[in-house]
């Protein structure tokens, strides 16, 4: 992945993201959101990347955007109305899955370069994160069709999405290369969130639709009226 990202950045052929559009990427998803301490550490690294990448790119490692994707549910919808049937079913599935699972812990170690941005790598301490992802797929049933044949085999948070030219190509490549094993501490996750993404004029940010605690007990999923 790093080699592909390095070559793309140095040649200027890296992917350039654009704001979400109807039917495109950045659709409703279930994610883990890191706690405050780990989110601040990721935000600090994001700020360093942005200095090298230059203005205009998306700092998706910022606190209002950072996340680890568990599963994408659908393509982007510009409007998700209050009382949306799919949101309700997915929130219920989220609650059932969370009730059977326990909190997840990740070791945040290293950053890498991809053809579309810079990622922070996350390594689960045990099988809790993968177990929740599998259980969620079961509980979603037919509503999980969007990623039914796709298996996520790595965990990561994208800190910066490229949207245009990289200001300091060689500098960014060298910076990432020196931080492939950067210790970013641990991230403890005790709840999962159902959300959509909204472009706030600067970048896509999280808009919560519902959440459930990973406690092996509760089946409640709290549904937000924010859309």
pLDDT tens per residue across span 165-200? 999 999 999 999 999 999 999 999 999 999 999 999
Residue-level pLDDT at 220: 55
| The pLDDT of residue 205 is above 90 | yes
Domain limits for position 66: 2-223
Position 216 confidence tier, pLDDT thresholds 50, 70, 90: confident
Sign of CA dihedral 142, 148, 154, 160: negative
Position 218 confidence tier, pLDDT thresholds 50, 70, 90: low
For the chain, what is the domain count? 1
Look up residue 132 and give its two tokens.
Answer: 């929740």
Q: What is the CATH number of the domain that holds 37?
A: 3.90.1140.10
Contact (CB, 8 A) for 194 and 211: yes
Q: How far apart are CA 20 and CA 205, in angstroms?
A: 11
pLDDT tens per residue across span 14-66: 999 999 999 999 999 999 999 999 999 999 999 999 999 999 999 999 999 99
Position 215 confidence tier, pLDDT thresholds 50, 70, 90: confident
- Is residue 28 packed enough to be buried (19+ CB in 10 Å), middle (13-18) or exposed (0-12)? buried
Cα–Cα nearest to 194, from 218, 152, 226: 226
Backbone region of residue 27 per phi and psi (left: phi > 0; alpha: psi in -120 to 50; beta: other values): beta
Cβ atoms within 10 Å of 66's Cβ, excluding its own: 25
Residue-level pLDDT at 224: 64
Residue-level pLDDT at 222: 63
Question: Strand order in 222-223's β-sheet?
Answer: 68-72, 29-32, 191-199, 204-213, 222-223
pLDDT tens per residue across span 114-168: 999 999 999 999 999 999 999 999 999 999 999 998 888 899 999 999 999 999 9
Contact (CB, 8 A) for 170 and 48: no
């Amino acid at each position: 992945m790093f080699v592909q990202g390095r070559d793309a950045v140095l040649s200027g052929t890296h992917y350039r993201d654009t704001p979400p559009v109807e039917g495109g990427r950045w659709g409703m998803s279930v994610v883990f959101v890191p706690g405050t301490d780990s989110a601040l550490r990721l935000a600090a690294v994001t700020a360093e990347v942005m200095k090298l990448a230059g203005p205009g790119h998306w700092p998706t490692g910022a606190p209002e955007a950072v996340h680890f994707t568990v599963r994408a549910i659908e393509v982007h919808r510009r409007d998700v109305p209050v009382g949306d049937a799919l949101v309700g079913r997915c929130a219920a599935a989220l609650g059932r899955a969370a009730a059977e699972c326990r909190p997840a812990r990740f070791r945040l170690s290293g950053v890498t370069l991809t053809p579309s941005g810079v990622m922070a790598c996350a390594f689960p301490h045990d099988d809790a994160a993968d177990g929740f992802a599998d259980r969620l797929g079961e509980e979603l049933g037919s509503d999980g069709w969007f990623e039914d044949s796709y298996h996520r085999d790595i965990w990561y948070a994208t800190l910066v999405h490229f949207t245009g030219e990289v200001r300091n190509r060689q500098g960014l490549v060298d910076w990432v290369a020196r931080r492939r094993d950067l210790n970013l501490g641990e991230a403890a996750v005790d709840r999962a969130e159902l959300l959509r993404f909204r472009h706030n004029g600067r970048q896509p940010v999280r808009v919560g639709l519902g959440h459930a605690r990973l406690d092996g007990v509760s089946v409640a999923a709290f549904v937000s009226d924010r859309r």
